[in-house]
């Protein structure tokens, strides 16, 4: 008797749930995220730790300052640390406390203003600079930094106003030169010329400011104006003034550059004949070199004789 074994054919239909590579990756990622996820309470602990750290750090700063109140660097480090914590009001409080102790220290003011600028509090920085230049108007660096800040934010009119406030204090010629160079950067020649006029009025007995003014006019091809400036300058100085030699030299060299050789010769001769050896020694040497370049044989001999005569008079 034979037995038949019935074999059911396999179901070749697709499994309703397909396990794909994407499923495996997604499942693994889910398990990984679950494994590393921190409890919510951990974040609170971290905040507490940061607060503890800040509290300890502040205490360290305060202890150091109480022992060394006059150490400016400690105050600066303290304020800068508060700024790094984004605690801007605390930082300001530190700066103000430092200034109460040493308000004449311009470095404190500069660092305070820099903190405000760095963190984009421009109006705060303006307020600090205003206070600083009111208290310390003779510290050029405060004015220059203030002006530079305004120029960097595009406030050119504001920069000019600050320069004007500075000039009211009748500063030295370097401050005036900074203002003039500022105007020249913006191609404001007429403004620069007016400033040179104010400069020579402020410092009429300084030869270098007259020479700079004349060179400015020459650079801008205003030769007649430059010549008048030299002439005005000579009216301000007596022949007994040692600085007068520099003025005559600059004037003569100007005329040479203008190809006015005879004018230059007259300036040299007048100066040498009237200043005397003590004040005309360099002029004599320059005059001889001048005649060797531009004069004839007789003029060269005359220049040499003039120099010898001056030496004899001095002896």
Q: Is the pLDDT confidence value at 6 over 50? A: no
**Position 248 confidence tier, pLDDT thresholds 50, 70, 90:** very high
* pLDDT of the residue at 12: 41
Q: Is the pLDDT confidence value at 166 over 60? A: yes
Match 């006019």 to its residue by tokens.
Answer: 217
Q: Is the pLDDT confidence value at 286 over 80? A: yes
**Position 275 confidence tier, pLDDT thresholds 50, 70, 90:** confident
Higher local confidence (pLDDT), 1 or 101:
101
Higher local confidence (pLDDT), 41 or 248:
248
Question: Domain coordinates of the chain in residue numbers?
Answer: 237-315
**Position 309 confidence tier, pLDDT thresholds 50, 70, 90:** confident
Q: Is the pLDDT confidence value at 241 over 60? A: yes
**Position 201 confidence tier, pLDDT thresholds 50, 70, 90:** very high
160-164, 223-227, 290-294, range with the lowest pLDDT: 290-294
* pLDDT of the residue at 9: 41
CA end-to-end span of the chain: 160
* pLDDT of the residue at 116: 98
* pLDDT of the residue at 4: 43
Q: Is the pLDDT confidence value at 45 over 70? A: no
Q: 52-109, pLDDT tens digit by residue?
A: 888 999 999 999 998 988 899 999 999 999 999 999 999 999 999 999 999 999 999 9
Q: 11-38, pLDDT tens digit by residue?
A: 444 444 444 445 444 554 554 454 445 5
* pLDDT of the residue at 239: 84
Q: Is the pLDDT confidence value at 43 over 70? A: no
**Position 276 confidence tier, pLDDT thresholds 50, 70, 90:** confident
């Amino acid at each position: 008797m034979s037995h038949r074994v019935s074999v059911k054919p396999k179901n070749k239909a697709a499994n309703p749930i397909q396990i794909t590579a994407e499923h495996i990756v997604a499942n693994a990622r889910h398990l990984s995220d679950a494994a590393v996820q921190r409890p919510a309470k951990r974040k609170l602990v971290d905040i507490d730790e940061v607060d503890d750290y800040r509290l300890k750090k502040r205490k360290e700063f305060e202890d150091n300052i109480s022992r060394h109140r006059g150490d400016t660097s400690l105050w600066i480090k303290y304020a800068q640390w508060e700024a790094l914590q984004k605690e801007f009001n605390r930082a300001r409080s530190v700066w103000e406390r430092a200034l109460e102790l040493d308000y004449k220290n311009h470095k404190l003011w500069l660092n305070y203003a820099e903190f405000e600028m760095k963190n984009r509090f421009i109006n705060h920085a303006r307020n600090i600079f205003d206070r600083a230049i009111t208290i310390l108007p003779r510290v050029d660096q405060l004015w220059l930094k203030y002006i530079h800040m305004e120029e960097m934010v595009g406030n050119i009119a504001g920069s000019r106003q600050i320069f004007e406030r500075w000039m009211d204090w009748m500063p030295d010629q370097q401050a005036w030169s900074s203002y003039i160079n500022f105007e020249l950067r913006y191609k404001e020649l007429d403004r620069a010329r007016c400033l040179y006029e104010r400069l020579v009025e402020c410092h009429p007995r300084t030869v270098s400011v007259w020479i700079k003014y004349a060179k400015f006019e020459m650079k801008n091809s205003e030769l007649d104006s430059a010549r008048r400036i030299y002439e005005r300058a000579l009216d301000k100085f007596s022949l007994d003034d040692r600085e007068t030699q520099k003025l005559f030299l600059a004037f003569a060299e100007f005329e040479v550059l203008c190809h006015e050789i005879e004018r230059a010769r007259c300036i040299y001769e007048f100066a040498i004949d009237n200043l005397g050896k003590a004040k005309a020694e360099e002029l004599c040497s320059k005059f001889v070199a001048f005649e060797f370049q531009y004069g004839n044989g007789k003029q060269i001999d005359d220049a040499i004789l003039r120099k010898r005569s001056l030496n004899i008079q001095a002896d």
